[in-house]
Amino acid sequence: MTDTKQHGSEEGLLQGKVFRPTNSKELAEAVELVFDYRGDATLGLTSGETIEGYVFNRHGSGPRPCLQVFPKKDAGIREVPYADIVTIAFTGEDTASGKSWEVWVAKKESQRKAERDRVAAEARARGHL
């Protein structure tokens, strides 16, 4: 299975939210949200441990579904079984929040207009316009 992240407008609303799944369906939904999130998350585990980091992969099927995390304070990769997850908190800033395609297009158009204005001003100064 190939994992692709699809980034809609919902992710920006997740920052600061904490999910406490009560069943496997809710956990699977929370895992998909954290997988699509472009910021760090904090996982609360049944052991009482918390892991803060970036969730970059998940294996939702098979005998032992798990998440893969780049922990913020440790080198390497941490694999966390779904069965060990009690909470998923969206604690880090969503680094792509507000950076939609429309915003990018508007910025590029503004840059192009500024460049056209600069070139026209230079041409006028040389007496070409």
3-state secondary structure 9-44: HHHHHCCCCEECCCCHHHHHHHHHHHHHCCCCEEEE
Both 27 and 84 in one domain: the answer is yes
For residue 94, tell me if it sits in a domain.
no
For residue 68, tell me if it sits in a domain.
yes
**Rounded to 5, what percent of the chain is helix, strand, coil?**
35, 25, 40
Say whether pLDDT at 96 is over 80. no
Both 64 and 114 in one domain: the answer is no
pLDDT digits (tens, 9 = 90+) for 11-54: 458 888 999 999 999 999 999 999 989 899 999 999 999 999 99
For residue 3, tell me if it sits in a domain.
no
For residue 110, tell me if it sits in a domain.
yes
For residue 2, tell me if it sits in a domain.
no
The residue range of the domain holding 119 is: 99-129
For residue 25, tell me if it sits in a domain.
yes
